[in-house]
Amino acid sequence: MAVRRPARTAAPTRAAARNGGSRSGSSMRRAELLEIAAGLFASRGFTQTTVRDIADEAGILSGSLYHHFSSKEEMLDEILRDFLGHLLERFTEIEKEAEDPKDVLDRLVAHSFTTIHQTPEAVALYQNEADALSGLPGFEYVDQMGKKIEKIWLRALTAGQKSGIFRRDVDVNLTYRFIRDTVWCTVRWYRPRGRFRAEAVAEQYLRILYGGLVTE
C-alpha cells in the first residue's frame, strides 16, 4: 500500500504578506492618531477640538482620518476605554496580589504615578472630561469604571483601619479623596523627562503621606 504523504501547506503569498503588513501598519497609524487626539483633547478640551485639528496635527487631510475612525467621539471612546480598562485591570491585580492593606495602598499609589508617566495625555483627558462625559449616552462606563476603581482604594483604606495599620480617627472617604486628587493632579506639573522619575515621586509622596512634615 502506498504511503500517503501529508499535504503540503502553501507558503504565504506576497499579497497575504502585504495584507498582514497593511493591517499592522494600520494599527500603528491608529495608535498614533489616538495619541495625537488624546493630547489635543487634554490640552484644548474635547468639545473645542475638531477633526480638522487632529488631522492637521497628524499631517493628513480630514477625510483621511475617517479611514480609521468614524468620528472624534469614537476616538475619545477608544482612548478612555483603553485607559480605564488597563487601570482597573492592574488595580484589581494589585488588590489580589498584595500582602496587606498598606502594601495595596503603596502599590496603588506607585502604579498611579507610573500611569501618569506613561500616558499623561490620557490621564489629563480623564481628569478634565470625566464628569461631563459620564452622563452622555455611550459613555456611562466612565462613571461605572471610576466607581469600581474607587472601591478598590476604599477597601484598602478600610481594611487598614480594621487591622490597625491605618489610623481610625480619619474618615475613609475624605482620605481617599485627598489621596486621589493629590496623586492624579500631579499630571498638571509632572514631566516624564523632568528631574524626578515617577518612582521617586511616588516614594516622596508615600513618605509624606505616612510620616507628614512634622518631625515630632
User: Which residues, 6 or more positions from 142, have their beta carbon under 8 angstroms from its beta carbon?
Assistant: 80, 84, 126, 130, 133, 134
Asked if 61 contacts 144 with a C-beta cutoff of 8 angstroms, the reply is no
User: How much is the pLDDT for 109?
Assistant: 98
In whole angstroms, give the CA distance from residue 206 to residue 141: 30
User: DSSP assignment, residue 100?
Assistant: S
Q: What is the mean pLDDT of each run of 10 residues along the chain (216 residues)?
A: 34 45 71 95 94 94 91 95 97 96 97 96 94 86 95 98 95 97 96 90 95 81
In whole angstroms, give the CA distance from residue 207 to residue 181: 17
In whole angstroms, give the CA distance from residue 45 to residue 50: 10
